[in-house]
Amino acid sequence: DPFHEGSTVQHWQLPFLGLREFPAELTPFEIQYFFTFTSQERAAIASRYGHSHRLAAALHIGFLKMTGRTLDAFDTIPPPVLQHVRTHLGLPTPDLTSLRALYRRGQTLLDHQTWAAHLLGFHAFTDRRQRVLVMHLRREAAKAVTLPRLVEFARRWLYEKRILLPADRRLRDLARTAYADAERAMDDLVHRHILQP
């Protein structure tokens, strides 16, 4: 399973990091990469009660592998993903469904999100983890990278550390602050050198 072989993000994976819902199109390779499960994951999926919850559990695991975020969008699940999960797990899945249709209770959805994160070793984005990220962002910003590159760095860093990605706005705010701090530090450095006798 490529997900467990190493935590380095492949270049082609970057556009998926931080997505809140399924992308409009996924290639067969991408579907297979994220929604093919290890024996441990298959056993965990099989432990869920009922076909719809097993399907939902599989979708949560695959989506988290793909994006670094928990699946909570109620949009329709792409049919090719459903077809792959059906074949791979031998589950009787509908041709068309949404996350909303798979759950009667909102609490079960939350339970499955937590369960999938725990299974894959993802941790919450706590204040302490945010401080560590900001420290790395400042260091990266000092290399004069652009703001979009800094946000991309944050997404990659969080994913590789198995920390759940927060909302995009929050990451952009952190990157913007780190960028401003780095610029200020550079200005201070320049002024000190100019003003020195």
Walk along the chain (197 residues) and give the pLDDT tens digit of each residue: 556 555 688 889 999 999 999 998 899 999 999 999 999 999 999 998 888 899 999 999 999 999 999 998 888 899 999 999 999 999 888 888 888 888 877 788 899 999 999 999 999 999 999 999 999 999 898 887 788 999 999 999 999 999 999 999 999 999 999 888 877 766 566 666 676 65
CA 157 – CA 147 distance, rounded (Å): 15
pLDDT of residue 188: 60
Structural contact between residues 117 and 60, judged by C-beta atoms closer than 8 angstroms? no
Name the DSSP class of 144.
T
pLDDT of residue 197: 54
pLDDT of residue 190: 63
Nearest to residue 117, comparing CAs of 165, 61, 155, 196?
Answer: 61
Query: Between vectors from CA 187 to CA 183 and to CA 188, what angle results, nearest 5°?
Result: 120
Q: Which residues are CB-neighbours of 107 under 8 A, at least 6 positions away?
A: none
pLDDT of residue 191: 62
